[in-house]
Amino acid sequence: MVGYGRTESVIINVLSDGNPKSFREIVEASRLSYKSAESALRRLWMSEVVMRTEETVKERNKIFKGRGGVRANLRSYHLYMLSSSRSSDSLSLHGTRFVKYNKKLAKKNVNEVSKAKLVLNFLENNSDKAFYSKEVVEALKDRNIKPSDVMTMVRKAERKGLVYVRGYKMHDKQTPFKEGYLLTWITPDKNREKAIEEAVEKTNVTLSTRSGTNPIIERVHAISDSIVEATKLRDLVSFEFLQSRLNCSPYETEAAVKRALQLYPDLREIRVFSTFKYYYHDSISGEDLKAAVAMKENYVRAIKGRLNRIGHNWEAAVEYFLDSLTTGARFWTQKHRTDSMDQKRITVHLIKPVAHRKSNAEVDRVWEVTPGPLLKPTTYVLECKWGLVQRKYIDDFFEILRWSKDFGVDTPEGRTIKQGVVGVFAGSAFNPKENVRLKDESVISLATYAARMNIQLLKAADFNEKLRDRGVPKDITVQRVCRIAKDEKEVREILEAIWENPEKGDGSLAKVMEKNKNVYEFEKILEKTD
């Protein structure tokens, strides 16, 4: 076109159809570079050949990110069209006002561009520190900076290697801290490895300074220090030790350990006998790690022996009452690789891993009861737990049932437990103070929560009540039997003797305690020598 350069002519041709277009659409249609198109479009607007929307158009976009799901963002942009008349300074099209060039609007446009750059300027000018994204917003709020402005510019700068962004590192993603992502400037003219190392150190300093106001960070640092210290001594740290040092509940300790493993990828977890959790730093050598694990295995065999003994005795006690008081019960049996394992303990196959169990899980007992000749049998699956039972144990049991081949089924609403299958969770005691908060913010008891999942709860108090009905003295309890019995066989013998001769219960227990005195003494010696 006469009087216009080649770039301007291309843009005029793109807009000649009369339809308003965004800058992105103009670039795609003209195949010009962003820089060339931006300069040419501004020249056309200043010469009043092109009109622009007076206010930015805001559009919410949804972008499918594959496994990442659908991401939504708010896009702001101007629309451009050819001027219809040299004399008219503005026009309205489909409710949108288009205007010709004026200095006031041009100045506003410049301010909008510099507003986006304020974020990077702030980080660069304070390159010796790291800031949470919320802190950046707070520092620049007088310039109308919003959270979306911060992270939009930061992500672009991150791709260019100018900003280091840190959050909670999970297996396949990174999530922000409570105060947002941690941001710090990366000096581009420094050695890349050195610059990254400095950026990480700056974020570590910021995290440490927030420990006084953020308990979880304080616990994370204590966990990291304990693990590193133990690794230097060629040792492992147990979950129980961490809980004792933090002086908090198992839930709080578990949450803090999870965060520590996310924040510090060089911290590792290992399970001894697939159950007991220990932690170490990956700087430990392979030989030292192998030796430390062997030491912990010996410790578990010795110290955990008493708890294992009582735990297995509790299973036997529950089975005794179920077998004695349930009419028509048929217990499942299963052969195992070793004869030492009770054949009534059932190994179920999982179609999806549950916690640390990959393909198999064990349940303590499975039995069937047929109400009548024409009725389908009900299958009961038992899980026993000695000690104070918490919600996480019930959730774990429920997951095993629904993801097992034998007891779970697929439905249009998702995986659930089959009809006719009832879970039974037997605990020596359930935490009376623990309540469950549902999604609707309502609070229910642990027993009500279990009932909603079709899981029945059995307590030691339920079995003690049966003993009282039989005339057994109050000082004889199921818990006491489990503590003094040497093994599961002896539990059954004691309960049978008490059941048949309630008045001789005290004498029976006294004989057993005298016979097993050496067992108790040996366990005490092991505990003292740890």
Tell me, what CATH number does 119's domain have?
1.10.10.10
pLDDT tens, 9-53?
A: 888 888 888 889 888 899 888 888 888 888 888 888 888 888 888
Residue 275 sits in the same domain as residue 153: no
- Residue that finishes a domain, picked among 68, 101, 134: 101
* pLDDT at site 403: 93
Is residue 19 situated within a structural domain? Answer: yes
C-alpha 418/C-alpha 409 separation (Å) is: 6
CA distance 321 to 382: 13
59-68, 174-183, 335-344, 438-447: least confidently modelled range:
59-68
Residues 187 and 270 in one domain: no
First to last CA, the chain: 92
| Domain boundary, last residue among 101, 127, 151 | 101
For residues 79-106, give the mean pLDDT: 77
Last residue of a domain, one of 73, 101, 129: 101
Calculate Rg over the CA atoms of the chain.
Answer: 35
By three-state DSSP, how is residue 465 classified? helix
* Confidence category of residue 120, pLDDT binned at 50, 70, 90: confident
**How far is the C-alpha of 455 from the C-alpha of 398, rounded, in Å?**
8
193 pLDDT more than 80: yes
Of 153-167, 187-201, 434-448, which range is least confident? Answer: 434-448
Q: Tokens for 13?
A: 């041709």
8 A C-beta contact, residue 301 and residue 292: no
pLDDT digits (tens, 9 = 90+) for 415-424: 999 999 999 9
- Estimate to the nearest angstrom the gap between the alpha carbon of 432 and the chain centroid: 26
Q: Is residue 333 part of a domain?
A: yes
pLDDT at 114 over 60: no
Range of the structural domain that residue 502 is part of? 303-528
Q: In this structure, is residue 175 part of a structural domain?
A: yes
Burial letters for 107-146: b for 16+ Cβ neighbours within 10 Å, e otherwise?
eeeeeeeebeebbbebbbeeeeebbbbbbbbeebeeeebe
Largest Cα–Cα separation, the chain: 117
Indicate the number of domains in the chain: 4
The answer to whether residue 202 sits within a structural domain is yes
Co-location of 205 and 221 in the same domain: no
Give pLDDT, residue 529. 43
Q: Which of 66-80, 133-147, 229-243, 295-309 has the highest mean pLDDT?
A: 229-243
Instruction: Check whether residue 438 and residue 469 sit in a common domain.
Output: yes
For 244-301, write each residue's pLDDT tens digit: 888 877 778 888 898 889 888 899 999 887 778 899 999 999 999 999 998 888 777 6
Considering the domain boundaries, does residue 56 fall inside one?
yes
Which has the higher per-residue pLDDT, 162 or 5? 162
Q: Is residue 1 part of a domain?
A: no
Residue 203 shares a structural domain with residue 226: no
Average pLDDT value for residue range 382-391: 85
Q: Are 104 and 46 in contact (CB under 8 A)?
A: no
pLDDT above 70 covers a percentage of the chain that reads 87
169 and 144 together in one domain: yes
Highest mean pLDDT among 27-36, 101-110, 170-179: 27-36
Are both 157 and 277 inside the same structural domain? no
Q: What is the pLDDT of residue 303?
A: 62
Say if 297 falls within a structural domain.
no
Cα separation of 31 and 44, whole Å?
18
Please tell me whether residues 226 and 345 are part of one structural domain: no
* Position 107 in a domain: no
pLDDT tens digits, one per residue of 322-348: 888 877 788 899 887 777 677 888 899
Indicate whether 424 and 475 sit together in one domain: yes
Angle at 1 between CA 54 and CA 89, to 5 degrees: 25
Do 121 and 159 lie in a common domain?
A: yes
* Arithmetic mean of pLDDT over the chain: 82
Does the structure show a pLDDT above 60 at 64? no
Q: Is 79 left (phi over 0), alpha (psi -120 to 50) or beta?
A: beta
Side-chain half-sphere of 434: how many Cα atoms within 13 Å?
Answer: 18
- 469 and 332: one domain? yes
> Is the same domain home to 432 and 351?
yes
